[in-house]
Amino acid sequence: MAKYRGKKKIIEQVEVQGIAAEGKCIAKVDEQVIFIEKVAPGDVVDVLITRKKPNFMEGTPVHFHSFSPDRVDPFCEHFGTCGGCKWQHIPYPIQLKYKHQQVVDNLQRIAKVELPEIHPILGSSKTRHYRNKLEYTFTNWKWLTQDEIESDRAIDRRALGFHIPGRFDKILQIKNCYHQPEPSNQIRLAAEKFCKENDIQFYDLVKKTGNVRNLIIRNSVKNEWMVIVQFACEDEKNAQLLDFLKNEFPEITSLQYVINNKPNETFHDLPVEVHHGHDYIMEEMEGIQFKVGPKSFYQTNALQAYELYKVARDFAGLTGQEVVYDLYTGTGTIANFVAKKAKKVIGIEYVEAAIEDAKINSEINGIDNTLFYAGDMKDILNDAFIAAHEKPDVIITDPPRAGMHQDVVDMLLKIEARKIVYVSCNPATQARDIGLLDAKYKLSQVQPVDMFPQTHHVENVVLLELRN
């Protein structure tokens, strides 16, 4: 049955059947597919249709007739508004079930290759407080909750929090985030309070006025903490805030700041100044030290990254005699992690600063069998490069979400390395590339890994072996 709210259609009594791509749930009404936000499989809801296409519709629930027996109460008061942990209402074992199925579905529908038995998904030992990096934005015009809208009291619109999904100019004030361990929340709340009490001007994201813009908090398994504050301009009050954080939180071993007067908050092209401590924190994995600077990439779930890298190393089956190419090496975490079991490891990465970090990470660990090169993968990985550095026995590739460029896939087919270990944060593009590599490679092992509990994201590692 359907009714209307203005010009928008509401379909009543829709039973949610499962979970589809990007974490939305799926239902069918009269053979028409509906993708629905903020529900769980087993819910029965009335759905307001927000988008209609020839092959599908999208909608949002406006009334729940009954809740799924699999539902649990979300643990965060910001659930449903903040876009960070959209699966809090789904028990973790069921999250893992759907993530595992997402990998299977992509391999079946997109790769369309013969599948081996797929290993059970590796769940994260921590489902809360597992992240080692969070980024918050200051605003002078925060997003109001329903209670605040209905309140008669004056509302202070200054806040420090996360962007509302799809809105660059709207910030949700965060009281407690379950992503990162303490003192992360304490640092954020103290910084916000100090700025308010000392009249430090919060940045206006629309008018581009004000000063304090952004707060980044990073930590490591060695319990070292880095805090980076972005200001729009030089001001004597900047040092007041930084000195306060230094004195209030002795845990901070790296306190840095950026002067950023650009329209956006990215600072990879800007100098970062040290106010206190080091310009880095140290991570550790299996005895290997990794230097993490303010612009360095490091897996945000460090404990689960260790499990992921062990899978990749096991799939590579290294004996100490192999030449390994690590494509999209980033700061060389995988390259340095596998180096002790390889003859030589060559890492390639587009970001030059990341390659410098990779070289430093090899140096501080006394690893002397790695080489790193910066440049566009499709341009660097060519016949001349192979001739200069030996043909690889094993290729490990960990591309961005878009997957590998067609030219890179073609080169891998030409190189004919004995094994390709493909690590991916996007099973759909990974499946596409596996389908292309199927011309010469057999898919022999598949291991899904959950790096981000409470979200729909899933990583996947596969082993491709050269056909005889």
Determine the Cα–Cα distance for residues 385 and 382; give it in Å rounded to an integer: 5
Question: Please, are residues 138 and 188 in contact by the beta-carbon 8 Å criterion?
Answer: no
User: Which residue of the set 76, 82, 85, 425 is catalytic?
Assistant: 425
Question: Catalytic site residue 425?
Answer: yes
Q: Rg (Cα) of the chain, in Å, rounded? A: 24
Helix then strand then coil, in percent of the chain rounded to 5, is: 25, 30, 40
Angle among Cα 98, 77, 194 to the nearest 5 degrees reads 125
Please, what is the angle between helix 427-437 and helix 92-106, to 10°?
Answer: 30
Tokens of 206: 């629309």
Paired strand residues for 447: 461
CA-to-CA distance for 53 and 84, rounded, in angstroms?
27
For residues 352 and 294, give the distance between their C-alpha atoms in angstroms, rounded to a whole number: 15
The SS3 assignment for 119 reads coil
Distance CA 108, CA 426 (A): 15
- Which residue's entry shows tokens 């600072």? 267
**Residues recognised as catalytic:** 425
